[in-house]
Each structure stands twice: as structure tokens, then as C-alpha cells.
Chain A
Amino acid sequence: MIEIKDLHKSYKMGSNSLHVLKGLNFSIAEGELVAIMGSSGSGKSTLLNILGMLDEADSGSYTLDGVPIKNLNETKAAKYRNKFLGFIFQSFNLINYKSAMENVALPLYYQKVPRKEREEKALKYLEQVGLKEWATHLPNELSGGQKQRVAIARAMAAEPKVLLADEPTGALDSKTSYEVMDLIQNINDEGNTILVVTHEEDIAHMCKRIVHLKDGVIVEDKKVEQVRAAQYVK
């Protein structure tokens, strides 16, 4: 599903440049649930941004679902993001003045799905994350866990190939974190490919594979026994 080869990225900071990614190679198959771990500064967010087409690598190749991601202009990148990727952010990034349902329907709006169909689909995904009754509420009327669940519903609404989660539990307490991870695991069980960036061990172990990043190189890439989050959720 995702294949990267010899990926390099450096940032210019004044006169000296900061080499963040130093030749990454790895691939993710369909249906995997991968955690990318590393301390801050290890380059995991940069990697995620490149995978999410929000940023471009200096060199190396990136193939997503057989499509080479190279030299995209903004319009094309936007189209690919919409078609291939679903984003889940640490700070939820819901649009404040839109209701939960409108937020979920947003990616569909950009696909020019008709209004009615959009709303039906949005409701379906809200139901899946257990927030159907909250459809008309604005984000500031929801708790953190609920917001993240709306964000997950939004990420899934466009039926993307890959879900990219950037510290999805970073802003949540552990109980809600497990609830969110439970949801992510369930989505993965249905066959969706998910990439989670995290620095929390317990969250990482709820995935099926852990990729350790340190100073811009992969130091470890191992399959793990998945810990089900459901057992912590009452």
C-alpha cells in the first residue's frame, strides 16, 4: 500500500541545514496497523507529513497504492489527499463553526458528493463512532474524546486508502485514549490500513507493528502482539 525508498528530508535553518530524515526505507501492506515511535525530533512528524502529502521529500521515492507521489502541484495534492488519505490530528482540528455532521461531511463536499448523500454518509460514520445523537452539536459542545471520534469519522468519510493519525491520543486522558484506540483497532479489523504516530509505549503496543525512528533513521521495525484496547474500556 505504502512504499518508500531512500527518503531524505532536510530543513534549512538560517545558514545551516537540519537533516531530519536520512534515507528511510519501508513499506506498509494493506490492512496493517503500524505505530511509528520516536522521541521528539526523531523525524516522525516529518515522515507523516510527507506520507500525508503535506510536505515533500528532498529525494527518494514514495508510492501510494501504486501511484508515485512526485512533483505534485497543490491542486493535485489536494485531490490525492482527498482520495487516498484520512487525517487524524492530535488537536482534532475540527472546524469550530460547523456541526459534527458538517465536519464529517466536509471531505465528501470536496468530492462534490450531493448534499443529501453526504449527510446520509456522515450520519452513518457518526453512528459507527457512536455519536449519532451528537450530529447537530458544535465541536465546543463535545468532550475531547468525542471530538477525536468525530475527527475519526471525518477521516473515514471519504473512504481513504490509508488513515494517518498524528498522536491521536496525545491530548486525551488514558481512559479516553483507550476508547479511541479501541475504535481505531475496530476500524483496522475491517481491513483499513492505519498509520499511528505516537511516543507512548502502551499506545504503540496496541498496533500490530512498531517502527522506531531515531535521529532520522529506522532503528527498529518489528511486529508485535497486539494488545486489545477493549479490555481497558468498560
Chain B
Amino acid sequence: MFNRDRWKEILEVLTSNWFRTVLTAFGVFWGIFILILLLSAGKGLENGIMQDFGDIATNTMFMWSRSTTKPYKGLPKNRSFLFKVEDVQAIRDKVPNLRFISPRNQLGGFNGTNNVVRGIKTGAYNVYGDYPEISQQDPMTMTSGRFLNYNDIREKRKIAIIGEGVRAGLYDKGEEVLGSFIKIQGVNFMVVGTYKKKSNDGDGEEAQKEIYVPFTTFSQAFNRGNDVGWMAITANDGTSITSIKDKIMAVVKENHKVHPDDQRAVGHFDLYEQFQRVQSLFGALRFIAYFVGILVLLSGVIGVSNIMLIVVKERTKEIGIRRALGEDPWSIKLQILMESIFLTIISGMAGITLGALFIYGVNTLLDMNGPVDMFLNPSVSLGVVIGALFILIVSGLLAGFIPAQSAIKVRPIDALRTE
């Protein structure tokens, strides 16, 4: 196969009619170019949307309590109840494969009233009572100081971690934040850290305007007792939260004497399910890209096949001579196949290269003009390129197969008679 004479011949044949070769090559070039473009556009969209998910642990569900809709064990319907701290331990005991269970309480909220005061400045912020694990479920970057720890929880320290948005609202530029005090609904908390969250969609700004205080402190300071507002529950990698969420909800339903079939008593939001939905959307997009790309490529491949048939026809006599001189039919077949594969790969490589350059150009444009919503860093992975090469080799083989077959089907005696 790696034979100098054979390669020389391949080049001789392909260069003997430049214009035709280039036109033929264009079909394959165009097909692979479109394929690369579609795949990278899909990837760009995927990157853009994945960025909106940020670093959030996606194998997570959020769960909160609502009113019951069925009477159960002598209790009426329309009864409201709250999760208790004990529920957390119960879930931990009864449901395996859970990574984090974070009970949370909250003050404020969307369009809440001013609840935080510092000196003469006031602001409306979300205030959360949290456990330290929350920083792994909803990751944030500490810009100064520290996050909560279990000593804070145990000792019910009155400390707070504030977002960069809160700091901008309550502090002057350059003012020292750590060690200062803010008053949340009349209770003083010492600020021990500031954070920033990575996320660039609409919630981005809101996410910087949060204040985290220890869960136990929150309960005591704001008179929540054992109540838990809601929970963020993350499953171990390898176990989807979707598959065990029913078990989790069954545990809390039992604890609070809620009818097991009462679907509405416990509200939840399954991030993993949403994430999977988005993932499958991208899967579909990729499928469409491959489907369309390969169809376009196919028409190019048919072009190659066509030209190879003509080449074989033109060379019928030559093939006859070579067979009279004793060339193995397999060698002739191999020759035609290699010509076809070579042409396909060369034009395909040109397509891949130009596609990559095009993507590079788009990226440069994107970088220059700032981020575009839901579109980021369109790219193709090395795997895709290798896959495309594989597709090219296969299609080159396919394109050459019929012509090669027709080349050896001609009997040498007939071939020699052709003028």
C-alpha cells in the first residue's frame, strides 16, 4: 500500500485532469465543511446554554412543603405543614446514595421589602440560613474572607457572608467589609466573607445579592424553631436524583402524616430532569447535524463515484493492457479504491481545515463583539474530526467500490479491443 509507484500513479491519474478533479473534490469538501459547521454551531449553542447552568450541581432537586390535598389518618385536607430539622436525618437514614442534604430557610425574596440595614444604607436582599454544603451544590467563588463552617453552625455564630451585589449596595467603594456589621431585620451579623457567583443569564445579578448566615443562627434569630423552609438534595454521581426522589418524598410524607398518594403536598423541582431534557435536546441537534451533514457529504461521494466510473471507462484499454501484462485484478481494484479514498480524504481534509478556520474566524468575531446570548465558543472536538476522517475513509471506499468492481469486471480481451 505504501508503495512509491502506486502513489506516483495515483497522483498521475488525479492530476491528469485538474479541473475535473477539483470539481469532484469540491463535492466532498462542501459536505464535510457543512458537517463541521453544523456540529460546531450546535456545540456553540450547547456551550452557551450550559454556561447558564453554571457550576450548579445538576444532580440536585429542591423540595418544599405545601398544603395537603387528601385527608389522611384522621387529619383533614388543606392542612399546611413545614419540614422539620429531624426530616433531614430521617432522609439520610432511609435513602442511600445521597451526597448532600441541605435544609434551608429564607428571608426576603423577589421584590421583597428592605430588610438589611447598615448605617444609613438599606437594601432588600435574600437572606438564607444554610449549612456549609450549600457552597458545593450552588458553587460560588469567595472573593474575600471565608464561607460558613460547622463551628458557626454549632455555636450559632452571628456571622454573614454577603454577595458582591450586597457589598456594592451597602458599602462605599474600597471600604473594608470583613469584620463590619450589618443589621438583618434588627439583628446584627458580622460579615466574614464576600462571594461572587458565576452565571451570566438574567439571574446573574440577583445571584450576587444574597446573604448567607448559619442555619442554626437563622432559626434562632428569626424565630423559626425546628422549621425548614426547603431542602436542596444532591445525589451521588452515578445515581440520578430523579430515580430516588420519590423515595425521599415518601420519607417526609410519612413523617408528616401526609397521604402517600398526595402528589401536591410536597413541591419539588428536579434540576437533573431539566438538565437531561436540555441534554437530549443537544443530542437531537447533534443528530440533525450529522444527518444533514452526511446527506450533503453523500452527494459529494456520489460525485466521486461518478468520476471514478468515468476514469475507469477512460482507462479501460489501459486496464486491459495491464491485465495482459499480468497485473493481478486485486491490484487494479486496490488502485481504483486508493484513488477514490485519496481524493476523498484530501478534499475532506481541506473541508475540515477550512471549517476549522471558519470557526476560528467566528470565535474571533464573537470575542471582539462581546458575548452573545446562548451562544459561546463554537467548536468541534478532536473526536469529531477523527470521526469525520473515519466517515471520509468509509465514503471513499464506498465511492470507489462500484468503479473498482466495474474495472475488474471488464475482460482484458474486451478492454484491449476498446479504442
Contact = CB atoms under 8 A, between A and B. Distances in A.
Bound pair (A, B) = yes
Interface of A: 49, 52, 54-55, 74-75, 78-83, 85, 87, 89, 93-97, 106-107, 109-111, 115, 154, 158
Nearest to B323: A78
Contact of A78 (B12, B317, B326): B326
B329 A74 contact: yes
Contact of B325 (A55, A75, A154): A154
A133 B317 CA distance: 27
A82 B318 contact: no
A110 B329 contact: no
B90 interface: no
A54 B322 contact: no
Candidate in B317, B323, B408 with the most chain A CB atoms within 10 angstroms: B323
Given A54-B412, A93-B321, A95-B318, A109 B328 contact: no
B4 interface: yes
Contacts of B320: 93
Interface of B: 4-5, 12, 16, 317-318, 320-331, 408, 411-413, 416
Contact of A87 (B4, B324, B328, B331): B324
Contacts of A49: 413
Candidate in B12, B16, B330, B416 with the most chain A CB atoms within 10 angstroms: B416
Contacts of A106: 322, 325
A82 B12 CA distance: 24
A115 to B, nearest CB: 7
B5 A109 contact: yes
B328 A110 contact: yes
A154 B329 CA distance: 20
A81 B324 contact: yes
Nearest to B331: A110
Contacts of B412: 54
A146 B205 CA distance: 88
Given A78-B327, A79-B326, A110-B326, A115 B5 contact: yes
Nearest to B324: A87
B416 A81 contact: no
Contact of A54 (B5, B317, B324, B331): B324
7 contacts: A52-B324, A54-B413, A54-B416, A79-B326, A89-B416, A93-B317, A95-B318
Given A74-B408, A95-B318, A79 B16 contact: no
Contacts of B318: 95-96
Contact of B329 (A75, A87, A94): A75
A82 B317 contact: no
Contacts, number: 64
Contact of B326 (A82, A94, A95, A96): A82
Contacts of B326: 78-83, 85, 107, 110-111, 158
Contacts of A52: 324
Contacts of B324: 52, 54, 81, 87, 93
Given A54-B413, A55-B413, A93-B317, A75 B5 contact: no
A46 to B, nearest CB: 9
A79 B328 contact: yes
A-B pairs with the 3 shortest C-beta distances?
A82-B326, A54-B413, A81-B326
Nearest to A55: B413
Contacts of A158: 325-326
Nearest to A54: B413
A125 B322 CA distance: 19
Contacts of A82: 325-327
Nearest to B332: A78
B122 to A, nearest CB: 89
A111 B5 CA distance: 13
A81 B416 CA distance: 15
B328 A78 contact: yes
Nearest to B412: A54
Nearest to A158: B326
Nearest to B16: A97
Contacts of B325: 81-82, 87, 106-107, 110, 154, 158
B413 to A, nearest CB: 4
A75 B328 contact: yes
Contacts of B331: 110
B138 to A, nearest CB: 70
A114 to B, nearest CB: 11
Given A55-B413, A79-B328, A96-B318, 7 more contacts: A74-B408, A85-B326, A87-B325, A93-B317, A94-B321, A97-B16, A110-B326
A203 to B, nearest CB: 21
A94 B322 CA distance: 10
